[in-house]
């Protein structure tokens, strides 16, 4: 499995959050290059990721993007990188880099703080191909 991870970007998300699950579905539908895997922050894999980096293992209000052996990004930087990796029209998101991180993260934090009010929990059933992209769901 470690070899497979080296060639992927792993999105860590709050597995109990409707907004987070919406965005996971959104990425899955647009991941034409098959470059993303997904893991909830609550999973053993997610908890290990957080603990190894000294990140909070009890609060799940941040999305992380991890490229094993290279980097991990959080909040707005993760969102912008995901859009850039998806390519096509989503590369326009690179313009978001002109906004200072402290401002874009402030927007991210506001959405994160209110995320449970913004989306209902929905039972999402991924296709078999999409299901293979989840790590310890």
* Residues in CB range of 48: below 8 A, 6 or more apart: none
Model pTM? 0.81
Percent of the chain clearing pLDDT 70 (strictly above): 87
User: Residue 54: what pLDDT?
Assistant: 97
Does pLDDT of 122 surpass 60?
A: no
Q: How many CB atoms lie within 10 A of CB 122?
A: 10
Per-residue pLDDT band at 3 (split at 50, 70, 90):
low
CA distances from 90 to 8, 45, 94, 102 (A): 19, 28, 8, 22
């Amino acid at each position: 499995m470690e070899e497979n991870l080296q060639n992927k970007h792993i999105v860590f998300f709050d597995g109990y959050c409707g907004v987070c699950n919406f965005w996971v579905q959104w990425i899955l539908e647009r991941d034409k290059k098959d470059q993303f895997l997904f893991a909830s922050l609550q999973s053993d894999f997610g908890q290990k990721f957080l603990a190894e980096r000294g990140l909070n293992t009890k609060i799940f209000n941040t999305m992380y993007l991890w490229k094993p052996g290279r980097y991990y990004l959080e909040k707005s930087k993760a969102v912008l990188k995901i859009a850039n990796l998806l390519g096509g029209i989503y590369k326009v998101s690179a313009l978001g880099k002109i906004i200072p991180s402290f401002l874009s993260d402030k927007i991210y934090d506001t959405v994160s703080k209110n995320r449970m009010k913004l989306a209902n929990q929905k039972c999402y059933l991924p296709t078999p191909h999409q299901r293979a992209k989840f790590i310890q769901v």
